[in-house]
Amino acid sequence: MKFSRLLLDNLPTVDGKHEKLEVNTYDKSKNNQKTTLSLKSTIENFQSPDVELLQAIAHEVKTPLATIQTLTRLLLKRPNLNQEVIKKRLQMIDAECTSQIDRFNLIFRAAELETQQLLKEKHSYLQLTTIPLAQVFQNSIPRWQQKAAQRNHTLKVILPPKMPTVVSDPVMLDQVLGNLIENFSRNLPPGSLMQVEVMLAGSQLKLQLKSDSNMSGKSHSPFTSCTKTPFKSIGPLLMFQPETGNLSLNLKVTKNLFQAIGGKLVVRQRPTKGEIMTIFLPVK
């Protein structure tokens, strides 16, 4: 309920001049004199941002549910499968559920963060602390690589010999990084090689995200569309890609999330190598 309220609070308002439709009727009590009734236009309502948001959310929910349904029916139709196959199917179901829970939890956190910033309140749920980065990557890299493989991509991660500790919120750092990498992979052509390189840069840790299509200038960031139809902005928080049904946080909100957890996101466009995303985190 709280998540729904925050999303609705952040929806843009519909232009008043398009909200009403004038319909002529006859009033028999006044000698068939025409009167005008003001009704909401069904057409305009179906084009409103809140309907687009509902369509986007419906797609984001329907797709993983369809996958879960398929996997569940396979298990029900073949009850004599060996334990390893059953375990693998259950792990896939768990991964689908976890992915969507994390995605919508991040949208909820972003909405909460934006609301708190407007009210100049402290981010009560964030706990910045010293984090052994090696532990974060140890838990996250297999999950990132699995997500990339689902879209027929390969994810290569280059780490320094000695991993430092950083100051951030451990839960949010994992979710924000994972969301950025997943959205990046959604906008690449099949068979792409993604690269995450981690290095020290003075008193900061620098994490760069790019793909092999950077070399031909054909890479796309999570904030630009690689399809014919551009992203649509839905309120101050979200973007929606009509062709793919992809719902994601916009660049401004994503940068605010990184800033809230002690980091900084820089998106750099290079003419011959495409877009490179760089995250900076303070080293302890």
Q: What is the CATH number of the domain that holds 250?
A: 3.30.565.10
Mean pLDDT rounded to a whole number for the chain = 76
Q: Is residue 92, in this structure, part of any structural domain at all? A: no
Asked if residue 68 is part of any domain, the answer here is no
Which has the minimum average pLDDT: 17-31, 117-131, 145-159, 212-226?
17-31
- pLDDT tens digits for 205-238? 999 999 875 444 444 555 554 544 567 787 788 8
Instruction: Give the Å distances, CA to CA, from 178 to 106, 139, 172.
Output: 10, 11, 10
DSSP secondary-structure letter at 152? Answer: T
Would 245 be classed as within a structural domain?
yes
Contact 151, 270 (CB under 8 A): no
pLDDT value, residue 159:
93
Range of the domain at 158: 129-282
Q: SS3 of 49, please? A: helix
- Are the C-beta atoms of residues 203 and 165 closer than 8 Å to each other? no
pLDDT band for 199, please (50, 70, 90 cuts): very high
Q: Is residue 66 part of a domain?
A: no
Instruction: For residue 14, give the DSSP letter.
Output: P
pLDDT category of residue 79 using cuts at 50, 70 and 90? confident
Share above pLDDT 90 across residues of the chain, in percent, rounded to a whole number = 19
CA angle 117, 129, 210 (to 5 degrees): 75
Number of domains in the chain: 1
Amino acid at 19: E
Angle at 61 between CA 57 and CA 67, to 5 degrees: 150
Percent of the chain with pLDDT over 70: 70
Does this model's pTM top 0.75?
A: no
Q: For residue 252, tell me if it sits in a domain.
A: yes
pLDDT at 67 over 50: yes
258, pLDDT greater than 50: yes
| Domain membership flag for residue 71 | no
Angle at 135 between CA 133 and CA 138, to 5 degrees: 110
pLDDT at 126 over 80: no
The DSSP annotation for 103-114 comes to HHHHHHHHHHHH
- Greater confidence (7 vs 269) lies with 269
The pLDDT, as a whole number, for residue 81 is 86
Question: Residue 25 falls within a domain, yes or no?
Answer: no
